[in-house]
Amino acid sequence: MALTINTNPQKPNGEIEETISFPQFDVVSDVSDHHYITSSFTKKNGRDHFPAGSHKKIMQEWKILEKHLPESIFVRVYENRIDLLRAVIVGTAGTPYHDGLFLFDLAFPADYPNHPPMVHYRSFGLRLNPNLYANGRVCLSLLNTWTGKKSEKWNPDESTVLQVLVSIQALVLNEKPYFNEPGHGMWPGRSIWEKKSTAYNEDVFILSCKSMTFLLRSPPKNFEGFVRSHFRERGHVILSACKSYLSGHVRVGYYLNEGSSGGGASSPGPGGAVDVSEKFQGLIVQLYPELVTAFSRTGASLGSLTEQVKFERKTVPFKGEGVLKQKKEKNTSGIARKVFGKIKVALGLKKNGVIKVNN
């Protein structure tokens, strides 16, 4: 299966660019920027060195990937380094990762499939998920890099690379990644934890947008055209989402568009209004022009979305101001009553205001 990319009909230099087809699975030769390029556990004399059984298993993996990849995952394998593999996962709609691209480099150990493949996440130094570290480490039970039940661990007889990639997309890059952290998932649904999850999603979306700009500056080998075309197509959706999140019209992570992965309509949140932190709003305002510049360079049609966004800070009164005012009023009225009481006594007034006449 291949993805047909509707490229911009005109490049910045005026040349016409044709629609291209980008296969979801393909065999390529350039492996120069792969994370595991210098690994020696499977390399001998510059070429792969695998037992016959491992070689056969990897070839089976290629066939499975070629036939069964979901539409949002793209894979490249290497003709001269069958021990290496690269995958790009498109962030799913309805998550704070929507419309982003997430790059993973895999390496098969020499005794594969007795041990799972090693997986490195291209993070750009950002940590946007509890399971994805800034150093590229991927924590997943299926990879034996995280604790889990026996049924969740790597099984040499049944587990596949396809399962690894789908698990990363569905279980790691999910709707509420905050609960991926051990201990955070104990009380889902409780308001305090949901608020923390919402705040975490705000941070995740910011980091996801930052990674987009980094990815466009330094696209991975064999995916250069795909990265540019993806953000050329999705740039206006991402910027529209930024504006919706900034204004509080939609809860962060839930902006859906007919052209986005998953489709559907936006989900504003309880009561149709969403509270957005000033921290998030400030970061969006700061990041927005960088996104506009990055997407514009791909030839994306952005229209009025190129205009800078802004927000007005809410003026929050000192929380003790009302109390102090109340106390002041109370104290003032108390003094007034005492003074007025003394005046009434001095003038011979009763409580009902009638003048008392001395005989």
Which among 219, 210, 214 is positioned nearest to 242, based on CA atoms? 210
Question: What would the two tokens of residue 232 be?
Answer: 């050329």
What is the spatial order of strands in the sheet that 118-121 belongs to?
Answer: 25-28, 73-78, 84-90, 101-107, 118-121
How many whole angstroms separate alpha carbon 145 and alpha carbon 153? 9
How many whole angstroms separate alpha carbon 161 and alpha carbon 83? 12
| 3-state DSSP assignment of residue 339 | helix
Q: Is the dihedral of CA 6, 12, 215, 209 positive or negative?
A: negative
Catalytic residue among 3, 5, 118, 139: 139
- Distance from the first to the final alpha carbon of the chain: 113
Question: What would the two tokens of residue 180 be?
Answer: 């991926």
Q: Is 99 left (phi over 0), alpha (psi -120 to 50) or beta?
A: left
How many whole angstroms separate alpha carbon 199 and alpha carbon 252? 9
Interstrand relation of 25-28 and 73-78 (parallel, antiparallel or unpaired): parallel
Supply the Cα-derived Rg of the chain in whole angstroms: 30
How many whole angstroms separate alpha carbon 209 and alpha carbon 202? 11
Cβ neighbors of 153 (< 8 A, separation 6 or more) are 141, 142, 144
Cβ neighbors of 102 (< 8 A, separation 6 or more) are 88, 89, 90, 91, 121, 122, 168, 173, 211
209 is catalytic: no
Question: What would the two tokens of residue 132 be?
Answer: 């994805």
Catalytically active residues are 139
